[in-house]
Amino acid sequence: MADLKMYLYSTPVYWLVGFQREPDKFFIFLLILILSLLLNQAFLAFVGAISPNLVVGLTIMATSLSAFSIFAGFLIRRQNIPNYYIWAHYMDPTTYPLEALLVNEFTGGKFLSLSLSLSLSLSLSLSLSLSLSLSLSLSLSLLSLPRAHGTATAFD
């Protein structure tokens, strides 16, 4: 069932996102996703086998998936990982599918650096304006909270 959901989600997303419109790139993309799905299912089965109960298994999964997202190279580049944690980058099962997807997408195409930098600056400005509006609305909601008589807030 998970395989079917992956196909139903990734097939339209690949074409709608604007990845390279070549059939071989698309089928390599699907192959990488299938292998990554099998790897993650095997890891989940392993954690389920060594866990004594559901709570311990979920705790192990939450901790390991957080570490995987940090050391995969997406949040922290490989060059910026300290030498004493570089082993985590190479043992991370999400590193290799991520690198394979990047190599698949960014080799052999024609790219316009101007449009890429323009879209990147637009996305950064949109995310900055969104975060500023969220922080402003949060601070305004904190100001409007009722408080006990005689207590001070950080905004006073």
**Per-position pLDDT tens, the chain of length 156:** 667 887 888 888 888 888 888 889 899 999 998 898 888 888 888 988 999 988 888 899 888 888 888 888 778 888 888 888 888 888 888 888 888 888 888 887 665 554 444 444 444 444 444 444 444 444 444 444 455 455 544 444
pLDDT on residue 136: 40
**What confidence score (pLDDT) does residue 150 get?**
52
Closest to 33 (Cα-Cα) out of 81, 112, 94: 94
> pTM of this prediction?
0.63
What pLDDT is attached to residue 27? 92
Q: With contact defined as beta carbons under 8 Å apart, do 32 and 100 qualify? A: yes
Q: Supply the pLDDT for residue 118.
A: 47
3-state SS of the chain is: CHHHHHHHHHHHHHHHHCCCCCHHHHHHHHHHHHHHHHHHHHHHHHHHHHCCCHHHHHHHHHHHHHHHHHHCCCCCCHHHCCHHHHHHHHHCCCHHHHHHHHHHHHCCCCCCHHHHHHHHHHHHHHHHHHHHHHHHHHHHHHHCCCCCCCCCCCCC
pLDDT at site 145: 44
At position 36, the amino acid (one-letter code) is S
Question: What's the pLDDT at 149?
Answer: 52
